[in-house]
Amino acid sequence: PQITVTAHDNSTRTIDAAPGLSLMETLRQHGFDDIQAICGGCASCATCHVYIETPGVADALPEMDDMEDAMLDISFVRKDTSRLSCQIMVEDGMPDLDVVIAPPL
Ligand code: FES
């Protein structure tokens, strides 16, 4: 899938995401250092927080588990579209996504 990413400086870039990595790993691999991913992807730091802004796409993504939900709950900038990007695996057939990197905590 193609992922259009808006970074903290409001710049936007579209990247090709390969299956097999998480969205967090994909973003970091493409140089988006706004995604700090301090915990390395185990849903315990929330520094990989993104907003998935593609309308109607939530059902096509892996469901949020309790741990992700709890981590997002401690964020002051949680929105309806919030996800931890480390909890979304990029897969074949995934729809294209508009992703905005959430402001730092
Ligand atoms: Fe830490 Fe996603 S990388 S919660």
State the 10-residue block means of pLDDT for the chain, 105 residues long. 97 97 98 97 96 91 96 95 97 95 89
Distance 95 CA to ligand 1 centre (A): 22
The ipTM assigned to this model is 0.99
The reply to whether ligand 1 has any atom less than 6 angstroms from the CB of 35 is: no
Specify the CATH number of the domain 2-101.
3.10.20.30
φ/ψ region of 9 (left if φ > 0, alpha if ψ in -120 to 50, else beta) reads alpha
Amino acid identity at 65: D
pLDDT of residue 104: 84
Closest ligand 1 atom, residue 48 Cα: 2
CA–centroid distance, 48 to ligand 1, in Å, is 5
